[in-house]
């Protein structure tokens, strides 16, 4: 329960969340209807799509990474081809491709992984690749820990990063994945409450002025 409801909090970065909140008001309206449509067709919550695409590209369809990932969902050429996407810099194609690739990652997880945990492992695989995630889960099992819990997998990645002197690149990638999962969870949760934010504050004010009983 602690992991499910508060697991995103340790990595909270106020500057990152403030930047995200500003973009939600200034930039998200340009893409929200498209994200809703793509989400409905591909079978993914549009807020999840928005959270991933912001972490990947800050909602920039023309974004390109040094490693060759491109588009709003930062798909690599191989991943784009795998899910039938030709133009990674086209916003709709990128969102569709990212949604398909993300959902496809569920097939790599065993049925023992609970539904609320699957999404977290899928986010990790989206960032680090399914092969590296499977290796991390294998090492977790070898330690005698539960490889089906993200909190345990996250610990495995953090401990791996502590050995950075021997493998600095892998250590950086581990921390990058942990941060990726945490930030996407934060952004998704923010969007889930954004529309009713005023109502929540108004209700809280009423409760303060007129406490029950």
Q: Give me the active site residues, please.
A: 56
Name, in order, each residue with C-beta under 8 angstroms of 59's C-beta and a sequence gap of 6 or more: 23, 27, 28, 30, 31, 50, 53, 72
The structure tokens listed for 44 are 């993914």
Residue by residue, DSSP assigns 135-193 as HHHHHHHHTTS-TT-HHHHHHHHHHHHTTTTT-HHHHHHHHHHHHHHHHHHHHHHHHHH
3-state secondary structure of 75: strand
Provide the 3-class DSSP secondary structure of residue 48: helix
Cα-only R_g, the chain: 18
Say if residues 135 and 125 touch (Cβ distance below 8 Å): no
Residues linked to residue 70 through DSSP beta bridges, in sequence order: 64, 75
């Amino acid at each position: 329960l602690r992991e499910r409801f508060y697991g995103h909090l340790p990595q909270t970065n106020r500057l990152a969340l403030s930047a995200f909140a500003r973009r939600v008001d200034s930039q998200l309206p340009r893409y929200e209807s498209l994200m809703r449509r793509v989400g409905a067709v591909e079978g993914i919550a549009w807020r999840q799509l928005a959270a991933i695409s912001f972490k990947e590209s800050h909602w920039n369809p023309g974004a390109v990474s040094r490693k060759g990932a491109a588009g709003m969902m930062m798909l690599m050429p191989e991943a784009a081809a795998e899910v039938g996407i030709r133009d990674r810099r086209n916003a709709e194609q990128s969102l569709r491709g990212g949604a398909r690739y993300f959902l496809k990652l569920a097939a790599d997880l065993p049925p023992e992984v609970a539904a609320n945990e699957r999404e977290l492992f899928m986010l990790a695989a989206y960032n680090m690749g399914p092969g590296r995630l499977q290796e991390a889960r294998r090492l977790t099992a070898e330690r005698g820990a539960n490889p089906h819990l993200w909190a345990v997998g996250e610990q495995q990645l953090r401990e791996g990063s502590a050995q950075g002197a021997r493998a600095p690149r892998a250590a950086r990638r581990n921390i990058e994945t942990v941060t990726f999962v945490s930030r996407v969870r934060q952004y998704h949760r923010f969007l889930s409450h954004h529309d009713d934010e005023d109502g929540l504050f108004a209700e809280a004010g009423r409760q303060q002025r007129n406490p029950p009983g």
